[in-house]
Amino acid sequence: MRLAVVGATGAVGHELLKVLERSSLKFSELQLYASPRSAGSTLMFRGQPVTVQATPEGAIPADVILASAGGSVSREKAPLWVKGGSLVIDNSSAFRYDDDVPLVCPEINGEAALGHRGIIANPNCTTLIEVLALAPIHRAYGVRRAIISTYQSASGAGAKGMEELLEETRNVLSGGQAGHQAFAHPLPFNLIPHIDVFQDNGYTKEEMKVVWETRKIIGDPDLKISCTAVRVPILRSHSEAISLDLEKPATPDEVRELLRRSPGLKVVDDPEGNLYPMPLTSSGEYDVEVGRVRASLVFDGGIELFVSGDQLLKGAALNAVQIAEYLQEKGALKTAASAT
Ligand code: A2P
């Protein structure tokens, strides 16, 4: 199986290589692509340098392409890659809402990936981190309404977002003023309730992605869900407060037990020991931390909880690789030999 990573030099690309190094995914060849700016540079993979190539105009000679170079690159090029015979696992939002493109979190709706027609969309990071906890609760108790507030790290804006947070924090600490480019305002010592563009309904696109994508992944187009998405001065890991109104009442103990049995999650919930999900502990980890599970004071029989997960890992690179692993386990990945 010939594997390609497009956007290999970016923040998610970097994590993709690290996840692939540890992955059980079998592939015979790894090709790395980025913009022409990076052509000729090398990245290390399993101790060997691999040369980065400029992303070609047309097809890429790979069976599977993990694309993480942004929406405009995917929108323009993914159809050409598919035409050339590749399966594209796309990390951008370009195709997520297309009816014929599966939107996949393998722990929840892996089987949807099997029906792909050349493109599989990797969900938005904020959705992935939330839906890992929401989906099992929905299955067991029926989520009637969900209200979500997010605390999202700079890594959501890619490598340049993380660099800007560090650089501008240094500026403030040395007596200067923080500037901004990647974000609408300076991020150090601030919060920005504005991620992606505002929509006609007053919500941002990031907030609506959580609504649209959660519905699509759990297969419930009528789920009532709203979100307030906030950028916080954290390098990586997104955290989210989730309030759930349930059809069948649940107790915190039952929900904690259910979440303990749910894949991709780590229950961290010992308030007396000061243990709860935090970016400090969830960064760099594959599992999404879930805790602060408690009975809702608003929704009778409802539940409140808090999640924190690495935006670059489960929120992006890890999920993309898990989709490929899932397909390979099911014998549904084309190989160079079977492609001919
Ligand atoms: P490059 O490093 O050469 O600019 P991030 O999300 O961290 O900003 O990373 C974006 C990734 O997408 C980088 O690997 C970047 O490569 C790549 N990229 C940006 N523009 C293009 C393009 N037009 N074609 C291919 N790759 C691109």
> How does pLDDT run across 52-66, given as a tens digit for each residue?
999 999 999 999 999
pLDDT at 67 over 60: yes
The whole-number pLDDT of residue 340 equals 35
By most ligand atoms within 8 Å of CB, the mutation choice from 9, 33, 80, 163 for ligand 1 is: 9
Round to whole Å and give the CA distance between 286 and 26. Answer: 20
Active site residue 185: no
DSSP state, 316? I
Helix, strand, or coil here: 152?
A: strand
> Ligand 1 within 6 A of 34 CB?
yes
pLDDT at 79 over 70: yes
Round to whole Å and give the CA distance between 191 and 310. Answer: 19
Give Cα separations from 239 to 41, 95, 128, 176, 306 (angstroms).
34, 25, 11, 29, 7
Total residue length of the chain: 340
The CATH label, of 3.30.559.10, 3.30.300.30, 3.40.50.720, 3.30.930.10, for the domain at 2-94+316-329 is 3.40.50.720
pLDDT tens digit sequence for 243-300: 999 999 999 999 999 999 999 999 999 999 999 999 999 999 999 999 999 999 999 9
- Find the 166 Cα to ligand 1 centroid distance in Å: 20
Domain coordinates in residue numbering, the chain: 2-94+316-329, 126-309
In whole numbers, what is the pLDDT of the chain averaged over residues? Answer: 97
> Ligand 1 within 6 A of 9 CB?
yes
Taking the model in full, what pTM does it have? 0.96
> Ligand 1 within 6 A of 139 CB?
no
- Find the 78 Cα to ligand 1 centroid distance in Å: 15
Which structure tokens are listed for 58? Answer: 């047309």
Region 312-335: mean pLDDT is 94
The whole-number pLDDT of residue 335 equals 62
Report DSSP letters for 17-52, one per residue: HHHHHH-----SEEEEEE-GGGTT-EEEETTEEEEE
> Ligand 1 within 6 A of 72 CB?
no
Region 71-97: mean pLDDT is 98
The whole-number pLDDT of residue 189 equals 98
Round to whole Å and give the CA distance between 287 and 336. Answer: 32
Active site residue 227: no
Find, among 116, 69, 111, the residue nearest to 94 by Cα.
69
Q: How many CB atoms lie within 10 A of CB 140?
A: 15
The whole-number pLDDT of residue 334 equals 74
User: From the candidates 14, 105, 125, 227, which is the catalytic residue?
Assistant: 125
Query: In angstroms, how far is CA 144 from the centroid of its own chain?
Result: 24
Contact (CB, 8 A) for 273 and 253: no
Architecture of domain 126-309: 2-Layer Sandwich (3.30)
